[in-house]
Structure 1
Amino acid sequence: MAYAGDRLRITAPKRSIKQFERGESVTVAHPHEHLRALAACTTHGATFHQTKGDMINSDEFFQSKMMEQRDADIKALKQKKENTMALQKAKDEADAIIAEKGEPTTENMKEFSATELDILHKYKFGKKGQGKKADVLKAYLEAPPPLKIVPWSPEDEEELRRLETDEIPLEDTALATAVHQQAAAVGNNINMLSLDERRKLMGTIGASLEEVKEVVVV
């Protein structure tokens, strides 16, 4: 079966040399829902289905991978917040009981309800006690004081809020990290380059700075 090559040439995207030098992407930026769908793909077939056979540029690939890590970080922070809130609530309830009735002992156990002893048990163990009141009280009295609660800070809340936004700057990706490391390596070992290599490097840097000037002027 033959194909009309002319038709392919007519519809194929065209890209200038300048675009290649600047590293611009061929594909159009996709919405964040697309990046999240790409992150969920675990096979080449799933990726092909999601992209409908279109190319994935490096920006999309690394941003989708970063989204996987970000989702894991969000889950961990939410779990930390939930645990901290639960521990603080248990402490507040236990403090209120002790402030009203004092610490429970075998002598004054009758003054405490089973619910109150469960709350005190939860304060030390993170869960309600099991068994009779005497068993719950015994476990409570023998347990060491609970560890100091690390409060959920405004900084934690701000980090969670930041992570929950879908914007993933390219500088946060593994690709950007690798580029920065390479740039640092060149800077640290520039004396190892030949004179010709240094000239080429300076020429590349100069061209890049000129492009920045053009963008600023525009």
Structure 2
Amino acid sequence: MTGVSLAGDRTVARVALIKPFTGLNLGVSQLSGELIRAGHESLVVYFKDFLVVPAEEGGRYLRTDYGLTNVGARGQEHLWNCYRPVTEREYELLFEELERFAPELIGFSLTSLSMKLAAEVTARIKQRFDVPVIWGGVGPTLQPEWALEHADMVCVNEGEELLIELAERLDDGADYSESSSRRSRSPTSTPSASSTSTTTSSAATSIRSGRARSIPS
């Protein structure tokens, strides 16, 4: 893959960042900002919403493996971390955004709450796009081996420097699998432990190049 031609011989990498659920969005915002500051293009997609619903309506929704129950005033129970199943229309909207942006790398920013859905979305993306997928965030950092069953690469700990490094390798047409601060899997899906990061520092909505617009659910 090659970068997108700009002025002269300069190229930039296109990196799409997907957050399965809205909320706690500072991580993807920072990653996107770092990519843009380094001269690359970034697309951020917030795919689904977490919902808080009355307990008696819980059967209508899916829940994460870490669902919570809140008892409010007058003893009324509400279920946290619920979400509606992903519809085919939502997948098509996601695919349309990705096709317009034409990313060379797709990243997921994940907590443990969102890894199950991320596995489903990643599988659908891989059916449609021949683009490497990297997972990062708290969830993949805690469970890198499980994450590698679904993603091509996993960023352990902070990901700003790694993402820029991967973008630069895409610019240069270099083998991204040689990047140092991540775990990757071979074509036989065997994780490479020698490339583990040791860094310890520091309706869906689509945001692209500082602009935002809503995608109806």
Q: Verify same fold: TM over 0.5.
A: no
Structure ID, larger Rg: 1
Structure with the bigger percentage of strand: 2
With CA pairs under 8 Å and 6+ residues apart, which has the higher RCO, 1 or 2?
2
Q: Under a length normalisation based on structure 1, what TM-score does the superposition of the two structures give?
A: 0.21
Structure with the bigger percentage of helix: 1
Q: Under a length normalisation based on structure 2, what TM-score does the superposition of the two structures give?
A: 0.21
